[in-house]
């Protein structure tokens, strides 16, 4: 292959060309059927959904990309989970629950693009306001693979799905908050601004323990490290789930916080379970 052909390939990647009025973009990776939406006419939302994207209702300023996102550009088999495939994953679920067994269908081949490719396709003239990832165990791998571009603050706000207390939802994946995501995101210049309990097999002490009981504010960095120090050396706990969502703000962010969730997207925020098991 000639040097000129290599050069052509290097510069051939095209940016997405948005309408001149577009100033901001929201990217929702693993959106399921209820993606994050445009907040105003100057904002465009991109829902990235490989299995159920065809069931997303068309809406103004919403674009659907039928693909999975991981660390690299490739093709891969995706496991079909839940009745209509809405819980599908590139990984294998460790929990033997109805959504992973009763409705399991055939594996589907899907296009996989890297998070770097996705973010770099957005022209620098458009601000990446909010990057939301719900990737069934692949959040950490994707975020780490895009470390260079995220470190620059390209994504001003991020919400990522995490695992808490060494529970492992999908086999062979690294996505623990204390062991993987918190050190990474801090190193990339992000501050943890909120957390929320997610899917839990039982009523565990979830990630909302990172908030104080009185003010519901995120604990200090030192307090978080102390809590995490009690988890990092524990063995992985496969077969059950203790998931949550972490909300991050980059140090260089200039935009106000986004609307983290749509009203119809998630149940009302769960309350923090105290150490004695009461609410």
Mean pLDDT by 10 residues, the chain (279 residues): 36 74 97 89 96 90 96 95 89 91 84 96 97 96 98 98 97 97 99 96 92 95 97 93 98 96 52 33
Nearest C-alpha neighbor of 184 from the set 148, 133, 231, 131: 148
Helices (runs of H) and strands (runs of E) counted in the chain: 7, 12
- Residue-level pLDDT at 187: 99
Give how many domains the chain has, as a whole number.
1
Place of tokens 């994953």: 89
The answer to whether residue 253 sits within a structural domain is no
Determine how β-strand 24-29 pairs with β-strand 127-133.
Answer: parallel
- Residue-level pLDDT at 28: 97
pTM: 0.88
Residue 81 corresponds to which tokens in the numbers above?
Answer: 């989970």
Rounded Cα gap, residues 39 and 42, in angstroms: 8
Rounded Cα gap, residues 206 and 165, in angstroms: 8
- Cβ distance 27 to 67 under 8 Å? no
What ranges make up the beta strands (E) of the chain?
24-29, 43-48, 62-65, 68-70, 74-78, 108-114, 127-133, 155-163, 167-168, 190-200, 237-238, 242-250
- Cβ distance 100 to 81 under 8 Å? yes
The answer to whether residue 228 sits within a structural domain is yes
Place of tokens 């890297």: 114
Rounded Cα gap, residues 140 and 4, in angstroms: 36
The answer to whether residue 71 sits within a structural domain is yes
Rounded Cα gap, residues 111 and 77, in angstroms: 9
Rounded Cα gap, residues 159 and 122, in angstroms: 19
Nearest C-alpha neighbor of 186 from the set 196, 173, 177: 177
The answer to whether residue 256 sits within a structural domain is no
Rounded Cα gap, residues 266 and 260, in angstroms: 11
The answer to whether residue 274 sits within a structural domain is no
Q: What range does the domain containing 131 cover?
A: 17-248
- Residue-level pLDDT at 264: 56
The answer to whether residue 265 sits within a structural domain is no
The CA-atom distances, in angstroms, between 138 and each of 41, 91, 111, 115 are 31, 8, 15, 11
The answer to whether residue 269 sits within a structural domain is no
CATH number at residue 23: 3.40.50
**Strand, coil or helix: 244:** strand
Rounded Cα gap, residues 224 and 227, in angstroms: 5
- Residue-level pLDDT at 270: 34
- Residue-level pLDDT at 267: 40
Residue 144 corresponds to which tokens in the numbers above?
Answer: 């780490």
- Cβ distance 133 to 142 under 8 Å? yes
Rounded Cα gap, residues 57 and 242, in angstroms: 30
Determine how β-strand 62-65 pairs with β-strand 43-48.
Answer: parallel
The answer to whether residue 1 sits within a structural domain is no
- Bridge partners (DSSP) listed for residue 74: 112
């Amino acid at each position: 292959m000639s040097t000129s052909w290599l050069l052509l390939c290097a510069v051939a990647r095209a940016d997405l060309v948005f309408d001149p009025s577009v100033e901001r973009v929201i990217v929702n990776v693993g959106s399921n059927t209820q993606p994050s939406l445009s907040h105003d006419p100057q904002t465009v939302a991109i829902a990235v959904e490989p299995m159920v994207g065809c069931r997303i209702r068309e809406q103004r300023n919403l674009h659907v990309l039928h693909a999975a996102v991981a660390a690299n550009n490739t093709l891969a088999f995706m496991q079909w989970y839940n009745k209509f495939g809405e819980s599908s994953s590139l990984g294998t679920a460790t929990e033997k629950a109805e959504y992973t067994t009763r409705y399991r269908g055939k594996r589907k081949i899907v296009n996989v693009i890297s998070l770097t490719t996705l973010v770099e396709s957005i022209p620098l003239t458009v601000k990446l306001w909010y990057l939301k990832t719900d990737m069934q165990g692949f959040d950490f791998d994707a975020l780490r693979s895009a470390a260079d571009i995220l470190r620059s603050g390209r994504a001003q706000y991020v919400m990522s799905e995490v695992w808490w207390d060494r529970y492992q939802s999908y086999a062979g994946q690294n996505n623990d908050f204390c062991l993987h995501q918190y050190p990474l995101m801090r190193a990339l210049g992000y501050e943890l601004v909120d957390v929320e309990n997610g899917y839990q097999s039982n009523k565990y002490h979830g990630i909302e323990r990172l908030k104080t009981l009185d003010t519901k504010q995120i604990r200090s960095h030192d307090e978080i490290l102390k809590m995490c120090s009690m988890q990092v050396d524990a063995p992985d706990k496969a077969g059950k789930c203790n998931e949550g969502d972490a909300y991050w703000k980059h140090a260089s962010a200039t935009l106000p916080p986004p609307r983290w969730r749509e009203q119809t997207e998630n149940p009302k925020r769960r309350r923090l379970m105290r150490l004695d098991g009461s609410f």
